[in-house]
Chain A
Amino acid sequence: MYSIYWSMSSILVGTSGYSYKEWVGPFYPLKTKNEQYLPFYSSYFSTVELNFSYYRMPNYNQLEQMALVASDILFSIKAHQSLTHNINLNSWRLEALEYQKAVAALAKSNSLSAVLLQFPYSFYYEVQQRLYLAKLLDALKSFPLAVEFRNSQWYNNRTFDELRRREVTLVSLDLPSAKNTPPIVDVITSSVAYLRLHGRNERTWWDSDTSSRYDYLYNELELNRIVQRINSLATSAKTVLVYFNNHRNGQATVNAKTLKELLKRQ
């Protein structure tokens, strides 16, 4: 496997998730079985963002097996929803501990690039949420952490300063320009930059199912602009992780491949 270098930075491109049945045909050859997805994926991309971990708590053996099957790639892994979306202030520590034990498998095999904490729009910049976030970051501090905010209130100098102090990455986003979506903010707060590309489907962003929301194919002009953004991140970060989340019908893989080519051509 290889990485693309620009200046002194390492730029890794992949997709959010890899295990989609609908990718058989557009990306995976016909008749590819589930257990063959990851090895095939790893022949194209040097990193993947695991998002099944949001829906069900991962376990150590499962992640250990993944790291063995795809030993050449780096894994970023999304935090379980009990830590970001459905937070129970009485039990979250137990959830965090369970999550931590599982992710240790990736850390042990040196294949962990980041733990992604993606918070919803309803996670407001209020005292209770700030206190919770501080405790959560403390609980998971043994891992390289990346935080994604969907509520613009978090994009302020105090947040940036605190993330810098903790060396936690602020995730950069590409989203539709719809109401209540966060602004474009690329601020380097650690040695790792993290860019998530959600597609620009303004029509389906709010009030639709997950699949429709991320139904988008970036065109080459847009991808060239994204290259500029990656170059900008690369001037200050040692590693830039780039994940396409427009997973509908394998569009993420099409865009990821094209982006890699564009970065190579520089």
Chain B
Amino acid sequence: MALKSTIININIANFAASAEIAKEPSLAKKAFVVAKGERNKIILSSSPVALSEQIFPGMYLSRALQIEPKLTVLDSNSQTNTTINNALVKIASSYSPTLVSPSLGNLFLDVKGTERLFGEPVDCALALKNEIYDKLNMGSAIAVAPNKLVAKVVSDTISPIGIAQVKWGEEASFLAKQDLKLLPGVGLATYKLLNVAGFSQIGEIAQLSDAEAVSLLGKRGLSLRNAALGLEANPFLLDSPKEQAIARKVTFFEPALNYDAILAATIAAAEDASLEMRKQKLSTQTLFLRLFWADNSISEHKERFKNFLTLDCELREALSSFIAKSLTKRIRLKALLLKFLDLESSFSEVDFFNFENITSKKKLQNSIDLLRSKFGSEIIRSGTTLYYG
């Protein structure tokens, strides 16, 4: 059985101030802020002592100095921030090589398969949290969860300091009672809209049907509803799905010239690749073709589609026109390489006018995939592939 990912998110709140304390530990007991700006300086980050005196990031410095005249003010120092963040990454990388730091003080690690070294993921997270404190004098909020989205919500929930774990299968229930503004994708405007509509908790969005989500929130409704369920659109940690591809190469027994033959071969390859794609619960938005011509030249063609392609029938339709556009030479083809690019989690958009049709197509695809998984891809083919064989 394949190991499931377990993501650890390290979240250092008020990173700039924390970085200054990491550099100079004596600052830990001082009321200080890191501020930026020319005329009216704005506070970027506050020390714990300053926070306890109600001096918060986003406040004008002039206002803060009224609250605490003896406040120490430091200029924003990008070099310090980078140095400390690099130190943080170095510590974290000894726990897992699968790591990204999308912003300062914010890291995601995938600790799948590290149990023999560090124990359960939560034990790994504890060791990491303690090492960060020990070496950098930084407190952190650390979350352990099945995916990045849930891990981020959890670390924001417990921030500034703490540790929490959400296990596989418990994502939706943990998110249910959290404040809506913690959900990625809910900015100020959306939050206000949802408040007016009577929503305040993530779980309330999770309960919306497809139609209700779209009706309330437009095109983003489905992705927000799915996020509220703890489902992540981009499950990959290191490579974004856009950098991943599923590929198949077809080499013709004899160089082919006939369009139908080439199309049949391509569709056969596509059916095989799409089974792999659907097993990973993905869809593709871009098709790529590299054509190896009999005169030893190579041409490449790419097409991005408006909608994501998931089912065989969708791919067949897309490939028909794509192949036709790509066969620009009157030369025989030796081989072709087909790639599915821009892969994303396969949450399909609802079609108000074609609900039932989509559902029955999905059911058919599921049945076909089941047979192919059990007996091999050749067990069932669409009619267009019969030319190639």
Contacts and interface: CB of A to CB of B under 8 A. Distances in A.
Do these two chains interact? yes
B158 A160 contact: yes
A109 interface: no
Contacts, number: 74
B162 A188 contact: yes
A265 interface: no
A192 to B, nearest CB: 14
B123 interface: yes
Given A185-B164, A228-B127, 9 more contacts: A153-B176, A156-B177, A160-B157, A183-B166, A183-B170, A184-B163, A184-B164, A186-B163, A225-B119
A179 B178 CA distance: 20
A225 B118 CA distance: 10
B177 A153 contact: yes
A177 B170 CA distance: 12
Given A156-B179, A157-B182, A187 B119 contact: no
A161 B179 CA distance: 11
Nearest to B145: A183
A235 B133 contact: yes
Contacts of A160: 157-158
8 contacts: A152-B170, A152-B173, A154-B177, A156-B178, A160-B157, A184-B164, A185-B162, A185-B163
B225 interface: no
A212 interface: no
A160 B133 CA distance: 22
Interface of A: 125, 152-158, 160, 177, 183-188, 221, 225, 228-229, 231-232, 235-236
Interface string B149-193: 000000011100111111100100110111100100000000000
Contacts of A235: 129-130, 133, 139, 161
A188 B129 CA distance: 14
A228 B164 contact: no
B122 interface: yes
A236 B139 contact: yes
A156 B178 CA distance: 5
A184 B158 contact: no
Contacts of B170: 152, 183
A185 B166 CA distance: 9
B190 to A, nearest CB: 18
B246 interface: no
B126 interface: yes
B94 to A, nearest CB: 16
A155 B167 CA distance: 14
B130 A228 contact: yes
Nearest to B142: A232
Contacts of A187: 158, 161-162, 164
B194 to A, nearest CB: 16
10 closest A-B pairs by CB: A187-B162, A156-B177, A228-B126, A185-B164, A184-B165, A157-B157, A235-B133, A186-B163, A225-B123, A187-B158
Nearest to A236: B161
Contacts of A184: 122, 163-165
Given A152-B173, A156-B177, A235-B139, A183 B165 contact: yes
A178 to B, nearest CB: 11
Interface of B: 119-120, 122-123, 126-127, 129-130, 133, 139, 156-158, 161-167, 170, 173-174, 176-179, 182
Contacts of B179: 156-158
B161 A188 contact: yes
A232 B129 contact: yes
Contacts of B167: 177, 183
A125 B178 CA distance: 11
A152 to B, nearest CB: 6
Contacts of A154: 177
Contact of A232 (B126, B157, B165, B178): B126
Contacts of A188: 161-162
Given A183-B166, A228-B126, A232-B130, A155 B174 contact: yes
A194 B190 CA distance: 38
Nearest to A185: B164
Contacts of B130: 228, 231-232, 235
Nearest to A177: B167
A125 B176 CA distance: 11
Contacts of B127: 228
A259 to B, nearest CB: 15
A225 B126 contact: yes
A156 B203 CA distance: 12
Nearest to B130: A231
B174 A152 contact: yes
B124 to A, nearest CB: 10
A202 to B, nearest CB: 13
Most A C-beta atoms less than 10 A away, residue of B122, B163, B178 = B163
Contacts of B165: 183-185
B158 A185 contact: yes
Nearest to A235: B133
Contacts of A236: 139, 161
Contacts of A177: 167
Contact of A157 (B129, B173, B176, B178): B178
B141 to A, nearest CB: 9
Nearest to B138: A235
B178 to A, nearest CB: 5
Contacts of B182: 157
Contact of A183 (B126, B156, B161, B164): B164
